[in-house]
Amino acid sequence: MVYNDPKESWKEKMAKLTAQDVANYFLSLVEEDCGDGISNLKLQKLLYYAQGFNLAITGKPLFDEPILAWQHGPVVRIVWRHYSLHGANPLPRPKKFDLSKFDAPTKELLGDIWEIYGQFSAWKLRSLTHGEKPWIETEKKQAISPKLMTAYFKTLLS
C-alpha cells in the first residue's frame, strides 16, 4: 500500500524519504560510547511517531511504507525485517548515512521526536502506542490508516 499524491511533481517524488532513511537518521543519533542503543522494537515506535506527527503537521507522509498494527504496536515491516536478525539487541549505526536527504524542517521534527520519545524504553513506547487510537482502532496485522494517524496526532499538537 503506497500513499502517493498524484499531484506531486516528479522532483518531489524523487526527494521523498523512505522509512529506512528515517530509521538511519534515528540510528545515527545513538551514542554507542555512552552505552545507548535502539532495539528494533523501539525503532518501530520512533518511526510511527515521526510519521504521525509529520502527517499532522504537513498533511503528507514522511515516507510511503505502511505502518502495520502488530501485536507489540506499530511496525514498518520492511524495516523490521531488515533488522530482525538482531532480535532485542541494540541495532548498529548505519555505515553510510546521507544527511543531505533531510531538509531543515524534517531534521527539526525528527530531533523533536528523538528528544521526546527517544528517552523512553522500547517497552514504555510499546505501552504508549497500545493506548493510542490509531493502534487500537486498526485490525491487527493491517495497515494503520494515514487519515486515522493524521486525525489522532493533530489532537496531540493542540
Q: What is the pTM of this model?
A: 0.89
Cell 522532483, located at residue: 11
More confident residue, 61 or 33: 61
pLDDT at 31: 80
Average confidence (pLDDT) over 103-117: 97
Euclidean distance between CA atoms 79 and 54, whole angstroms: 18
| Res 15 pLDDT > 90 | no
What does the pLDDT average to over 87-98?
92
The predicted model gives 113-137 an average pLDDT of 97
Whether 105 has a pLDDT exceeding 70, the answer reads: yes
| pLDDT value at residue 10 | 36
Is the model more confident about 14 or about 108? 108
Find the radius of gyration of the CA atoms of the chain: 15
Residue range 9-28: average pLDDT? 78
The mean per-residue pLDDT over the stretch 23-27 comes to 97
Distance of CA 68 to CAs 33, 44, 60, 144, 155, Å? 33, 10, 18, 6, 21
Q: What pLDDT shows up at residue 8?
A: 46
Question: Binning pLDDT at 50, 70 and 90, where does residue 33 land?
Answer: low
Please give the pLDDT value at position 126: 97
Task: Provide DSSP, 45-66.
Answer: HHHHHHHHHHHHHHSS-SBSS-
